[in-house]
Chains A and B, each alone.
Chain A
């Protein structure tokens, strides 16, 4: 039996809007790099190491953490990152 169904897209989006990344700097030296921990296990160990290496290479590191990996980052965290950081590295999904 052929049961035809109509799928309606409520966004009415014919083509997704494309967003570009910000321009990349020449190096991280002198920049503030945000490290956003998505709160999956072991990610903090990975980010601790990145923080050490980034700091050794001349960056200032700010750390942030999502309350849970099951949801997007809260607006407050996103706002603080955008205000405080030149770059952000988000980790670690598995």
Chain B
């Protein structure tokens, strides 16, 4: 899990290391968000996370 600022870096590192982790990105920034905003980020990302780690389909 990372914020969208990490998309390019994650792709570059995956190529360099020869391993592509299942990645889900959430909107940046993170550190100044309220608890409610963080909960919302988790709620919004949850289906995609489950789709990445299981065979469950991510919602359209």
- A residues bordering B, Cβ < 8 Å? 16-19, 21, 24-28, 33, 40-43, 45-47, 49-50, 53, 57, 87, 89-94
Distance in Å: Cβ of B24 to nearest Cβ of chain A: 9
The 8 A CB mask of B28-60 against A (1 = contact, 0 = none) is: 111101010011011100100110011110000
Partner of B1, one of A24, A28, A53, A91: A91
Q: How far apart are the CA atoms of A47 and B41 in the complex, in Å?
A: 10
With a cutoff of 8 Å between Cβ atoms, the chain A residues found around residue B15 in the complex are 16
| CB–CB A16/B53 < 8 A | no
Closest B residue to A53 by CB, please name it.
Answer: B46
**Residues from chain B with Cβ under 8 Å of A46 in the complex:** 1, 26, 30, 38-39, 41-42
Note all chain B residues with C-beta closer than 8 A to A26: 54-56
The number of chain B residues with a CB under 8 A from chain A is 32
Do A92 and B30 contact each other (CB < 8 Å), given the known contacts A19-B19, A46-B1?
yes
B interface residues, Cβ below 8 angstroms from A: 1-3, 5-6, 15-22, 26, 28-31, 33, 35, 38-39, 41-43, 46, 49-50, 53-56
Instruction: Quote the shortest CB–CB distance from B16 to chain A (angstroms).
Output: 7
A93 pairs with B35, CB closer than 8 A: no
In the docked arrangement, what's the CA distance between A92 and B30, Å? 9
Determine if B5 and A94 form an interchain contact, defined as CB atoms under 8 angstroms apart: yes
